[in-house]
Chains A and B, each alone.
Chain A
Amino acid sequence: MNKRILIALLLAAPTAFAEADAQWILQASTLTYHVSHPLHQTEGVSHAAKGKGVCHAGQCEFLIAVPVKSFDSGDSNRDLHMLQVTRGAEFPLVTVRTRLPESAAASGSINADLEIQFAGQTAQYEQVPFKVETQGGMTHIMGTIPATLADFKIDPPSLLTMPVKNDIPVRVDMTWRPQ
């Protein structure tokens, strides 16, 4: 009888270990969008992103969300206009989803396929390169997402009748820690 129990436990053990999936928590982040206008070069920064990664069977699924309101360009009027043109009150979050192999944290760089929801639209970005640095148990990820206003069907806002450029690259600087 005891043998049977022991065998059953041994058989169950690998399954139990397999279900102990790793998780990642976004510890700190700086997201910076850049807007070009003939008279201005503007950047808006947010440190308010929250994120989580859940790994299973060697694959990790990540979700990062940042409130649109949290971006600060240093001018409240500009931020309110940004909120308006991006329909930030109606769609208050920017969410980014990606799936990466669990081994990505150990590599020096990754190319991620991103799905970004913003302004009520969803855009896919394939093979976006990110630099990965691991130090003291923390994983530091840096890169730039080549976003454009057209990707999210946002009409370019204008100043003095001159519209901003379509490109709004978003610099990403995130620190993740394993849970």
Chain B
Amino acid sequence: MSRKIFRNRRNGVPGLVFIVYLSVALAPSVVAQTPGRGVLTGRVVDASGNAVANATVTATGMDSGQVRNATTGTDGFYKFEGLPPDKYRLKFEAAGLKTLEIPSATVEGTETVVPDEKLEAAETITAKPTPAQEDNLPNAPSSSSKAPSLSDLGLSPEQTQGNAREQALLDKRTHMLKIHQRMGLITTIPLIVTVATSLNAGGKNTSSASRDLHAALGGLTGDLYGITAYYAIRAPRVPGTETRGPIRFHKAMAWIHGPGMILTPILGIMAFDQRNRGEKVHGIASAHGPVAIVTAGAFGAALLSVSVKF
């Protein structure tokens, strides 16, 4: 069973043609699992026959008032499962296309689902937009007493249409930042131990073993820090997002502990060599300790800024 409905142009706006190919069927497997419940499925295509992805399809039970939403996939198909027997009003909304409403499609749990009469005719219908569609203004009152719908609220298509690509971007971002967070926590452990062992690495009576341990821990900290930083730097940015709140401080601290994590081991190697030659640490190498403390402090502040509310 198929059906095409053309909506004509409005005020000379080209290309606003919305064709809905609707097929309604009962899924035996679902009926078997949930007796008395049906499945409503169909496909949304544009004037060229191309699938319309991310179109919102709203099914409103005429008797129950129950509202269900579905979003078309990249192939334009949508599916409602487990629908109780009822007559459903179907509404199709997609960005750049006119909203289309189909008054009634019947779902009966034990019988083949029958769409309303208009849909049954396998012919093309050209329809002019109704006054209600023309007046699709923010908070415009309905022209009838039916239940309000999303199109009555004056929301823009960007606000109502799902964006699978953006969701995928957010998923990837969160995944990478979760690793960043875990690695940051793990890095904290050798960082603290490295700072603690510095007490035995830089004094007059220190052994080379203490310095080796301190250097090894510092190296481990640096490696883990590098991995932590990688996941923050490579996490995708979400366009149009302004950085607000404690995350700004967290990012600002990276400009201190980032260069510090590069500078500290360089100065440490210089100090390490001087000490192993029996010299007192001198010159720029003597900045190793202060730089390390500032770096560790900035790292800790960055961690706390997103962990504890001040």
By a beta-carbon cutoff of 8 Å, the part of chain A in contact with chain B is 19, 21, 23, 25-26, 39-42, 50-56, 61-63, 65, 67, 73-78, 80-81, 83-85, 87-93, 95, 97, 99, 115, 117, 120, 122, 159-161, 179
- Measured in the bound complex, the distance between the Cα atoms of B80 and A120 in whole Å is 12
The 8 A-B pairs at the shortest CB distance, nearest first, are namely A75-B245, A77-B247, A89-B166, A56-B145, A89-B167, A84-B170, A50-B153, A52-B148
Contact status of A160 and B307, CB under 8 A, knowing A80-B170, A115-B67: yes
Q: Can you name 30 A-B pairs with beta carbons within 8 Å?
A: A25-B139, A39-B308, A40-B308, A50-B138, A50-B139, A54-B145, A61-B65, A63-B148, A63-B152, A67-B155, A74-B244, A75-B245, A75-B246, A77-B306, A78-B245, A81-B177, A84-B167, A87-B167, A89-B162, A89-B167, A90-B167, A91-B69, A91-B71, A92-B159, A92-B161, A97-B65, A120-B69, A159-B306, A159-B307, A161-B182
On B, residues with C-beta under 8 Å from A are 65-69, 71, 138-139, 141-142, 145-150, 152-155, 159-164, 166-167, 169-171, 173-174, 177, 181-182, 185, 238, 241-247, 250, 306-309
A-side contacts of B244, CB under 8 Å: 74-76
What is the bound-complex CA distance between A93 and B141, given in angstroms? 21
Residues of B within 8 Å of A39, CB to CB, are 307-309
A42's closest neighbor in chain B, by CB?
B309
B147, B160, B171: the one within 8 Å of A61 (CB): B147
Give which listed residue, A55, A74, A87, A159, contacts B245 with CB less than 8 A.
A74
